[in-house]
Every structure is written in C-alpha cells, then in structure tokens.
Amino acid sequence: MAEKELSDTYRIVIRFENHAVRGLIEPSELGSIDQLLRNNPVYPLDSIRLRVLETDVVEEVATKDAKAVFFVKTFDGDLRHRALHFHEHAPVVQGLWVRVYFYDGEMIEGIISNTRDFVLESGFFLKPTDPNGNNRLVYILKGGLKDFHVLGMRNVSKTTTA
C-alpha cells in the first residue's frame, strides 16, 4: 500500500500483556484526533474494528484486556529514541499534564482532558508531550495502569497588552 494512501489512515497498535495487534483504521470509524482528545469517539472503544497488518483482514479486536491503544506515526518506531519527559518550551495546551506508569514498567507523559472522563470511564486519551516520539495519541485502559500522577495543569491564557 502506498504511503500516500496511508496519510489519512490511523496506524494503531493495541498492546496486550504479551502481544500486540497492529492495524489500520479510517478516521471516520473513530473520529478526529480532536474528538478523541475530548473523549468523544464515534463508537465506544471496548473493541476496535481494524485491518490487521499481518493478515490484511478486517477484524473486531476487543480492548478490554489491553494495556493501551497507541495511535502511532509509523509501525517501525525508533528504538534509539529516548523519550523526553519534561518540556519547558512545549506548546501550551489546555488540560492536565500527567505521567502514567504501566505494570510492565513503561512510563508516558502527556496531556489529558480535564474532565471527569479520566476518573469515571474505563480508559482515557492522552496526547504525548514528546514531540519527537512515535505516539500521536494513546488510549490508556486503566486496568493496565500501575500509577498515575498529575504533574500540572496547562491553561491557554490570553495575554493582555498595556
């Protein structure tokens, strides 16, 4: 499949404890990144219908026992990349800046919506703050979380001129 054909397609990696499912899905199936960040997907994410990369077959993949659903830039990633975990010059976006730890030892920082969804729902969306990382967006299932820290609140404020 040509790269141009994939440009509007989400590349998804659903990671479980001991395996991962990689596949493609059209944004119309889930919603835009902005919709997802507002925790407002087109369909609930208890399962995701995607074209599995290894078989090229469209399957419904249950996410109940998954650690997280990663919306990635590439399936290859960069094994040499070392994640940045604090960004003094990061763009200011509205939400809570959080650090999450998974049971498998992985840690991710990012921005989540400051709504009750991250408390009440079984999962929440996180926009990673590392601009050079491979993750565009992550849907984190709370069952895979070991720890959760709020690092701060980021607000977009209007500056006034004198």
Q: What range defines the domain where residue 99 resides?
A: 3-75+90-154
Sequence-ordered list of residues with C-beta below 8 angstroms from that of 104, at least 6 positions apart, any chain: 17, 67, 144
- How far is the CA of 161 from the CAs of 67, 94, 156, in angstroms? 46, 22, 16
- pLDDT the model gives residue 96: 86
Q: Is residue 17 part of a domain?
A: yes
Q: Is residue 85 part of a domain?
A: no
Q: Is residue 129 part of a domain?
A: yes
Q: Is residue 161 part of a domain?
A: no
**How far does Cα 145 stand from its chain's mean position?**
14
Q: Is residue 51 part of a domain?
A: yes
Pairing of strands 47-52, 58-62: antiparallel
Which H or E element spans position 3? helix 3-6
Q: Is residue 82 part of a domain?
A: no
Sequence-ordered list of residues with C-beta below 8 angstroms from that of 79, at least 6 positions apart, any chain: none
114-151, pLDDT tens digit by residue?
877 777 888 899 998 887 889 999 999 988 899 999 88
Q: Is residue 24 part of a domain?
A: yes
Q: Is residue 141 part of a domain?
A: yes
Helices (H), 14-149: 27-30, 33-37, 117-120
Judged against a pLDDT cut of 70, whether residue 154 lies above it is answered with no
Other beta carbons within 10 angstroms of residue 61's beta carbon come to: 16
Lowest mean pLDDT among 1-15, 49-63, 83-97: 83-97
Domain total for the chain?
1
Judged against a pLDDT cut of 80, whether residue 44 lies above it is answered with no
